[in-house]
Chain A
Amino acid sequence: NAGVTQTPKFQVLKTGQSMTLQCAQDMNHEYMSWYRQDPGMGLRLIHYSVGAGITDQGEVPNGYNVSRSTTEDFPLRLLSAAPSQTSVYFCASSPTYNYGYTFGSGTRLTVV
């Protein structure tokens, strides 16, 4: 049982490049979310999903796309990277609506 696995752990992108941050969980959790955390700030919700095939926008969705084709995977796509997207990205999952979330260890992204 690996929990929530995020890859890569570190990434440097050039402005305008695209990439996908991977998130996988092996706990059969229905709920999954993506957050970003800027230095000295709390986490802000980007996108979330309440089950395979169902996604919705969070607080800061612009510049990011998601899809949920399986219960296990919830990738986050950066369409055209900008320096403002430099941040630490966390993926999280939960089995149900009133349960605590399990977070991954994060992806540290720098856009130059």
Chain B
Amino acid sequence: DAKTTQPTSMDCAEGRAANLPCNHSTISGNEYVYWYRQIHSQGPQYIIHGLKNNETNEMASLIITEDRKSSTLILPHATLRDTAVYYCIVGTGTASKLTFGTGTRLQVTL
């Protein structure tokens, strides 16, 4: 599976959009980009995933570049409850083998 690179930490003001980048330059054609987050010591929570096209759901938007070598997770209106570690993961259809890195620690502040 392709490896991902994320910033170690980011800050965002409450109410503003949080844009979390992820580089996955070695991604292959059949690999999806998944985003999860982990709030404190809870179990990870699935956010969104995509293959080629941009995706949006009730939680976030996922923007994938045309060459698929990077992506950005957008939380449109961050709240304090969005403070968490965000993991960008690239994996094949056998999603059982998702590999979690150390993620980006997002701190949302007043």
Contact = CB atoms under 8 A, between A and B. Distances in A.
A56 to B, nearest CB: 8
A44 B100 contact: yes
Contact residues on B (Cβ < 8 Å of other chain), bracket: 20 to 34
Given A88-B41, A105-B43, A97 B93 contact: yes
Given A31-B95, A97-B93, A98-B49, A103 B44 contact: yes
Chain A at the B interface: SS class: strand
Interface string A1-17: 00010000000000000
A42 B100 contact: yes
Given A103-B43, A104-B43, A105-B42, A97 B95 contact: yes
A99 B36 CA distance: 12
B95 A42 contact: no
Contacts of B51: 98
Nearest to A6: B43
Nearest to A100: B46
A98 B99 contact: no
Interface residues of A, number: 31
Interface in B7-28: none
Contacts of B42: 105-106
Contact of B34 (A35, A40, A44, A100): A100
A65 to B, nearest CB: 17
Interface of B: 32, 34, 36, 41-49, 51, 87, 93-103
28 contacts: A4-B43, A31-B95, A32-B96, A35-B100, A41-B102, A42-B101, A42-B103, A45-B96, A49-B96, A50-B94, A56-B96, A59-B99, A97-B93, A97-B96, A98-B95, A99-B49, A99-B95, A100-B34, A100-B36, A100-B47, A101-B44, A101-B46, A101-B98, A102-B46, A103-B44, A103-B45, A106-B42, A106-B43
